[in-house]
Structure 1
Amino acid sequence: MGGGMEANKNKFIEDWGTARENLEHNFRWTRRNLLLVGIFGIAVPVLVYKGIVKEFSVLVIFNAFSRIS
């Protein structure tokens, strides 16, 4: 009475899901991967940290001068 309503599987989505589940087994270190890790894993966090520290030190100096005058 209510049969015939199965979901149709999309081959491409199933392949993508399988590749995603097995990523740690198929991963290879390449120059591009090393570059991306270097940029987004090291350089960006260091630059963000330095920017925050610089802004904080400027605010501390500004606050010290505002107390004097």
Structure 2
Amino acid sequence: MGGGMEANKNRFVEDWATARENLEYNFRWTRRNLALVGIFGVAVPVLVYKGIIKEFHMQDEDAGRPYRKFWLSK
């Protein structure tokens, strides 16, 4: 009833899936990887956090309140 429906494997998809499954075994730390971790793992979150804190401080200033205390803020 459902015979003759073999799937044709795409070599490129299979190669990508194999590489993805074995990423932890094939990963190498390079200068590029360190830079990407530094930018997207440290710098971007810190900049987003600073922007959010600045926005809260501007709201406090507009309302005439003292600044709220946050973990990493001044």
TM-score scaled by structure 1? Answer: 0.88
Partner of 1:14: 14
Higher RCO structure (Cα 8 Å, ≥6 apart): 2
Percent of counterpart pairs with the same letter? 75
Q: Gaps spanning 5+ residues in structure 1: where?
A: none
Query: Which aligned runs of 4 or more in structure 1 are off by greater than 3 angstroms?
Result: none
Q: CA deviation at 1:4?
A: 1.1
Partner of 1:43: 43
Q: Gaps spanning 5+ residues in structure 2: where?
A: 66-74
Larger radius of gyration: 1
Partner of 1:26: 26
| Superposition RMSD in Å | 1.3
More helix by share: 1
